[in-house]
Amino acid sequence: MDLVWIFVSASLINNFTLAYFLGLCPFFGVTGRIVTAFRLGLANIFVMLITAVATWILNTFVLPYAPYLRLISFIVVIASTVQFVEMAIKKLSPALFRALGIFLPLITTNCAILGFALFATNRGYGLIQSLVYALGAGVGLMLALVLMAGIREENELATVPRILRGAAMSFFVAGILSMAFMGFAGLFHGK
């Protein structure tokens, strides 16, 4: 299937957060500030790319022989690969580590990452397709995070009714954003 469509579908049409409800924790929890949300989004893209490679390897070379290990191996391999890469970054680029490092443990096995791994393998994507899918899912997640952070920052100055403050308001905002993202439906569908 066309890579453009994989990307657009993962990032906009079937946005992980706004259409699949994945990554809601950071979406509601870490979106107080735009900069934080942006960095978290970057870290997420990064972990997804690693996950794409790791799960592709597992899926191609290991799981055909032991399909029942899928879930456990995904979790273990994603977590340990990310930890390994984290240590590598710490050595190679302390600046990058400072920007993204603190988020890595937070997201290594959150539902968005694991969901990505499961979806990518369910769809039978090859390595390149997986990587594009990871990029799309990650960019979409970052978009949702950053938009939400902006809205939250602005909303802090508003006089939101008391019973709506907190979770309820966040869900309504997510609902509106999710409606707005429906405009992307069918984008590049001919591809």
φ, ψ for residue 31 (rounded to 5)? -105, 30
Q: Note whether 151 binds another protein by CB under 8 A.
A: yes
Site string for another protein, 161-180 (x = CB under 8 A): xxxx--xxxxxx-xxxxxxx
Of the candidates 38, 22, 15, 23, which has an alpha carbon nearest to the alpha carbon of residue 184?
15
Query: Rounded to 5 degrees, what are φ and ψ at 109?
Result: -125, 45
* Residue 135 interface partner, choices another protein, ligand SF4, none, CB cut-off 5-8 Å depending on type: none
User: Which of 7, 22, 44, 139 is the binder for another protein (CB under 8 A)?
Assistant: 22
x/- track of binding to ligand SF4 for residues 97-116 (CB under 6 A): -------------xxx----
- 53, 126 Cβ separation under 8 angstroms: no
Give the nearer residue to ligand SF4 in terms of CB position, either 22 or 104.
22
Residue 129 backbone class (left: φ over 0; alpha: ψ -120 to 50; beta: rest): alpha
The whole-angstrom separation of Cα 131 and Cα 3 is 10
Q: Choose between 24 and 142: whose C-beta lies nearer to ligand SF4.
A: 24
Q: Quick one: what does residue 157 bind among another protein, ligand SF4, none, with the CB cut-off 5 to 8 Å set by partner type?
A: another protein
Beta strands in 8-109, from DSSP E residues, in sequence order: none
Question: Applying CB under 8 A, does 114 fall inside the site for another protein?
Answer: yes
Q: Among residue numbers 61 through 100, which ones bind ligand SF4 (CB under 6 A)?
A: none
Q: Is 120 in the site for ligand SF4 (CB under 6 A)?
A: no
Neighbouring residues of 172: CB distance < 8 A, sequence distance ≥ 6? 164
Interacting partner of 47 out of another protein, ligand SF4, none (Cβ under 5 to 8 A depending on kind): none
Beta carbons of 42 and 100 less than 8 angstroms apart: yes
Q: Which of residues 76-95 bind another protein (CB under 8 A)?
A: none
Q: Which positions touch ligand SF4 (CB under 6 A)? A: 22-25, 110-112
